[in-house]
Amino acid sequence: MTHWTDAPYDWLQERNQLGQTELKVGRLGMGSSYMAPAGAFEAAFNAGCNLFYWGALRTPQMTKALRTIIASGKRDQIVIALQSYIRPRGLGWSVRRGLRRLGIDRADILLLGWHNREPSPRIIDEAMAIKEKGLVRYLGITGHHRPLFADLAGDGRFDLFMLRYNAAHRGAERDVFPFLPDNPPGIIAFTATRWKSPRKPGKIPEGEKIPTAGDCYRFVLSHPQVDVTITAPSSLKQMKENLIETAKGPMTEDELAWMRRIGDVVYGK
């Protein structure tokens, strides 16, 4: 197994139950949006990252990495999340097309994206039919309107939510996390780095340390309601840096306070 770090607390090797599902996921999930090469995804898998968000962009690079991992006999060690924006006609086609490209019979998660209000009954019915046919195991939903997740938290149709949460955008602490039931759905966070803005020197107050991407991921993952956050590097070098930093584990209270100060300035508070 490839290791890039000798961190005393290698968070990447831990497995976290994703909500009430049977899925066990590493803390850092893989996104494909910024075109990292296939080798970077394979190295991340070897380092302990097993959730692959093959979502907004089903890139050839992640496709190649997934097919390589599957061909090695390790399909049961990875969690594949397909996302579709189709509403609703064609949703089944989108899922089947993704399965064919990967050479698998079933994905682990179907994410309905991007919804800022409750999906129509037609969309939910189609998604549930796909699940009942065994094409996906679990159903999730993504969006930017936080109150929607609070409204859907207890209705049982969605196994997980994918939402924005970072040091600058902490609204989920007010609008979502307090309203989750005792047995909550899984929580996947995205835009942990807020498009790099907390790491730009011009955004950082004088005397404050500039956060790394790994600091941004560690901040998000230090919240007890968050199961996994997504990283989407553009190169093997960035992947390596992200994994090494994130492997350090949960933030201390002082580190969390520091990230909140940075986040407040970035947000404009």
Angle of CA points 139, 51, 132, to nearest 5°: 25
d(CA 231, CA 196): 12
Q: Which residue has the higher pLDDT, 90 or 159?
A: 159
Q: Which residue has the higher pLDDT, 1 or 212?
A: 212
pLDDT at 1: 37
d(CA 237, CA 213): 12
Nearest to 256 by CA among 219, 224, 231: 219
With a pLDDT cut of 70, the percent of the chain lying above it is 92
pLDDT in tens, 139-175: 999 999 999 999 999 888 999 999 999 999 999 999 9
Q: In DSSP terms, which residues pair with 139 in a beta bridge? A: 110
Q: Which residues contact 35 (CB under 8 A, 6 or more apart)?
A: 59, 61, 234
pLDDT in tens, 210-262: 899 999 999 999 999 999 999 999 999 999 999 999 999 999 999 999 999 99
Chain centroid offset of residue 27 CA: 9
pLDDT in tens, 28-39: 999 987 789 999
Nearest to 57 by CA among 84, 38, 17, 89: 84
pLDDT at 200: 58
Evaluate if residue 49 carries a pLDDT over 70.
yes
Q: Which residue has the higher pLDDT, 32 or 76?
A: 76
d(CA 171, CA 267): 11
Q: In DSSP terms, which residues pair with 110 in a beta bridge? A: 82, 139
pLDDT at 199: 55
Q: Are 17 and 24 in contact (CB under 8 A)?
A: yes
Q: Are 80 and 69 in contact (CB under 8 A)?
A: no
Taking residues 119-135, what's their average pLDDT? 94
Q: Are 212 and 241 in contact (CB under 8 A)?
A: yes
The three-class DSSP label of residue 25 is strand
Q: Which residues contact 100 (CB under 8 A, 6 or more apart)?
A: none
Taking residues 42-62, what's their average pLDDT? 89
Q: How confident is the model at residue 197 (pLDDT cuts 50, 70, 90)?
A: low
